[in-house]
């Protein structure tokens, strides 16, 4: 009987409920930005958006506005801090 302990001991930066915003540099020229409007709304870069779910490399973000939830790559998100 052998156990295979997980070797991934890196802490997860995001989890459900985390407040986030989009990192402008990571988002520019990405597939997600090309599939969207030519001019991205400023509120995604200002935040906060709430991370609702994480599946693989993507997170579902809900903005505090009457707009649909969106799926973005986790590497395009950063923790929201009050400016």
Is residue 43 included in any domain, yes or no? yes
The neighbour count for residue 23, using CB atoms within 10 Å, is 14
How many CA atoms lie within 13 Å of 79's alpha carbon, on the beta-carbon side?
6
The SS3 assignment for 18 reads coil
Give the chain's mean pLDDT. 85
Report which secondary-structure segment, H or E, holds 78: strand 77-79
Q: What is the DSSP letter of 12?
A: P
Residue at 60 is within a domain: yes
For residue 70, tell me if it sits in a domain. yes
The total domain count for the chain is 1
Residue 10 lies in a domain: no
pLDDT tens digits for 29-38?
888 888 877 7
Taking the whole predicted model, whether its pTM rises above 0.85 is answered as no
Residue 4 lies in a domain: no
Within 13 A of 56's CA, how many CA atoms are on the CB side?
5
DSSP code at position 11: P
Distance of CA 14 to the CA centre of its chain: 8
Average pLDDT over residues 14-29: 92
Q: Is residue 51 in some structural domain?
A: yes
Residues spanned by the domain of 41: 19-79
Q: pLDDT tens digits for 41-71?
A: 999 999 899 999 999 999 999 999 999 999 9
Q: CATH number, domain at 25?
A: 2.30.30
């Amino acid at each position: 009987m052998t156990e295979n302990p997980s070797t991934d001991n890196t802490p997860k930066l995001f989890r459900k409920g985390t407040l986030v915003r989009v990192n402008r540099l990571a988002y520019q020229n990405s597939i997600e930005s090309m599939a969207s409007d030519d001019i991205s709304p400023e509120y995604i870069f200002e935040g906060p958006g709430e991370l609702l779910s994480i599946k693989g490399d993507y997170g579902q973000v809900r903005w505090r506005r009457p707009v649909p939830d969106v799926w973005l790559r986790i590497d395009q998100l950063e923790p929201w801090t009050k400016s």
